[in-house]
């Protein structure tokens, strides 16, 4: 049985204009923990009126927040980072309890969130603007201005860190904003009001509206005074948001689903590749967009690698999220748990189950699944093509480089890819040929905050990360100035 952390709120309320408020119509929704699947609190159920209040609050303070210097905004972001780190233990307990994330993995979220704020504080201070000179005749320069009120819609996996990934650049760029956290995991977002207040973020700059995606999220997407939407979540929802955003021609950034390939050649460092595959698909309970959930192994290595992967999967410790020894915790919600179990049953009909696929015997309740490995998976199998978003991996063989590329590209997704080979020339060839927004060669998912993050095909639209994030949250205006005498053709001057 999971032990509830201290300090759980009896109700998770909106934060609008610097005040904690209930939903305008007084409605709430239940929030459950994934270990017992029992209700432990309620959250305000936002709708159109709540989003309207939040947008009005954000618009009212936009001139003041956008008008201060980049350096001053950076100072505020540094204070936010300090306030986040000061709550790292409480944040980890909240995140683990609410999402089922193992506590050892949840403990890194505060550090990563704080680093996002410090990084974008550095970016906005150091970022210059472009200037162009056309000989002695003309000079042109770029003015970068914040877009306005940003709408941020975040997912339920590692929610606090992914909220910070959007909050930090939006604030650094000078936007005010409305954040709609995921309804399945709203607990850690309840810490943001005290963090922002402690850091001195002016009231109304950040507003948080909780609620169901089809209600609060839709109202945010539809609002005519929110010119920008940043969304992380499923591809189907992303498509819907883009369609809805077309009405007001909103700028959108969509980080969507993934079915990322891991290509392992026979000359790879097998130990390093095995470690990377196991960690990459089973950490964070397998609930990560960049998980290497399709493992393509060159045939001479295929049987050995598949056998050892299955052995490792069977030894992964599944347990209470609060147990420091746990490597895979409870899946986030009963609805998602049933979805993943359904894919396991589909996989049993499509491929050869070599590990997992069942609830661990020592865990009689909660959303638990032993890490699952399917072998001999065909390219048209659903478990090869569709995102499962759980601790499930599909393994398939290939015979030559061209086939590896074809299989890697044989899905609608294109977020990440991983390549393992001792032949770096081949590694670069594969990296260039694979259809994905990000590629790692002989490495697991090590992020550099300066680099662009995003996917191609059904994995997303746009890029965030580093200066790309500031580009997204700002508009660029080019100003042209004549330096000398202007020689304009004189139409209509002849008598």
Q: Which helix (H) or strand (E) holds 403?
A: helix 401-408
Contact 17, 53 (CB under 8 A): yes
SS3 assignment for 152-207: EECCCCCHHHHHHHHHHHHHHHCCEEEEECCCCCCCHHHHHHHHHHHHCCCCCCEE
Tell me the H-state helices in 248-293: 270-282
Give the C-alpha distances (Å, rounded to integers) separating 52 from 219, 221, 344: 8, 12, 42
Output Rg (C-alpha) for the chain, integer angstroms. 24
Q: Which helix (H) or strand (E) holds 395?
A: strand 392-398
Give the C-alpha distances (Å, rounded to integers) separating 373 from 49, 88, 326, 352: 47, 34, 19, 9
**Helix, strand, or coil (residue 444):** coil
Question: How far apart are the C-alpha atoms of 454 and 195, rounded to whole Å?
Answer: 28
Q: Which one from 289, 298, 350, 387 is the annotated catalytic residue?
A: 289
**Helix, strand, or coil (residue 25):** coil
Question: How far apart are the C-alpha atoms of 21 and 137, rounded to whole Å?
Answer: 58
Report residue 482 as tokens: 């004549």
Q: Which one from 95, 163, 255, 464 is the annotated catalytic residue?
A: 255
Of residues 67, 125, 180, 68, the one with CA closest to residue 470:
125
255 annotated active-site: yes
Question: How far apart are the C-alpha atoms of 95 and 322, rounded to whole Å?
Answer: 10
289 annotated active-site: yes
CA atoms within 13 A on the CB side of 72: 10
Question: How far apart are the C-alpha atoms of 318 and 372, rounded to whole Å?
Answer: 12
Contact 171, 111 (CB under 8 A): no
Instruction: Map tokens 């980080």 to a residue.
Output: 255
Give the C-alpha distances (Å, rounded to integers) separating 43 from 32, 35, 39, 185, 470: 11, 19, 11, 10, 32
Report, as residue numbers or ranges, the catalytic residues: 255, 289
């Amino acid at each position: 049985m999971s032990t509830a952390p201290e300090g759980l709120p009896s109700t998770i309320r909106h934060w609008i204009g610097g005040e904690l408020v209930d939903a305008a119509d007084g409605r709430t929704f239940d929030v459950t923990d994934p270990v017992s699947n029992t209700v432990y609190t309620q959250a305000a159920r936002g709708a159109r009126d709540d989003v309207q209040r939040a947008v009005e609050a954000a618009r009212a303070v936009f001139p003041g927040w956008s008008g201060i210097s980049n350096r001053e905004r950076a100072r505020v972001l540094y204070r936010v980072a300090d306030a986040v780190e000061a709550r790292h233990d409480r944040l980890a307990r909240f995140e683990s309890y609410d999402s089922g994330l193992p506590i050892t993995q949840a403990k890194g979220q505060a550090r990563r969130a704080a680093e996002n704020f410090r990084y974008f504080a550095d970016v906005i201070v150091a970022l210059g603007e472009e200037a162009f000179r056309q000989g002695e005749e003309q000079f042109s320069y770029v003015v970068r201005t914040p877009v306005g009120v940003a709408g941020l819609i975040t997912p339920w996996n590692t929610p606090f860190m992914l909220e910070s990934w959007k909050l930090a650049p939006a604030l650094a760029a000078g936007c005010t904003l409305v954040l709609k956290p995921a309804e399945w995991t709203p607990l850690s977002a309840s810490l943001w009001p005290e963090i922002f207040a402690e850091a001195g973020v002016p009231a109304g700059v950040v507003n948080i509206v909780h609620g169901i995606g089809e209600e609060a999220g839709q109202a945010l997407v539809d609002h005519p005074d929110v010119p920008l939407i940043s969304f992380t979540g499923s591809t189907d929802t992303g498509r819907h948001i883009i369609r809805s955003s077309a009405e007001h021609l909103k700028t959108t950034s969509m980080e969507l689903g993934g079915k990322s390939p891991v290509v392992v050649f026979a000359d790879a460092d097998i130990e390093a590749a095995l470690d990377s595959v196991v960690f990459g698909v089973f950490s964070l309970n397998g609930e990560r967009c960049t998980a290497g959930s399709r493992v393509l192994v060159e045939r001479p290595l295929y049987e050995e690698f598949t056998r050892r992967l299955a052995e490792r999967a069977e030894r992964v410790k599944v347990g209470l999220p609060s147990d420091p020894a746990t490597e895979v915790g409870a899946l986030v919600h009963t609805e998602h748990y049933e979805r993943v179990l359904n894919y396991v049953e589909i996989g049993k009909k499509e491929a050869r189950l070599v590990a997992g696929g069942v609830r661990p015997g020592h865990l009689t309740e909660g959303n638990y699944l032993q890490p699952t490995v399917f072998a001999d998976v065909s390219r048209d199998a659903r478990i090869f093509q569709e995102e499962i978003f759980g601790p499930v991996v599909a393994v398939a063989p290939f015979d030559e480089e061209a086939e590896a590329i074809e299989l890697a590209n044989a899905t609608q997704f294109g977020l990440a890819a991983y390549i393992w080979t001792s032949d770096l020339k081949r590694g670069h060839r594969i990296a260039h040929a694979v259809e994905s927004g990000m590629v790692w060669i002989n490495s697991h998912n090590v992020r550099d905050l300066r680099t662009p993050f995003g996917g191609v095909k059904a994995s997303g639209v746009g890029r965030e990360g580093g200066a790309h994030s500031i580009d997204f949250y700002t508009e660029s205006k080019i100003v042209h100035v004549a330096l000398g005498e202007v020689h304009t053709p004189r139409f209509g001057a002849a008598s």
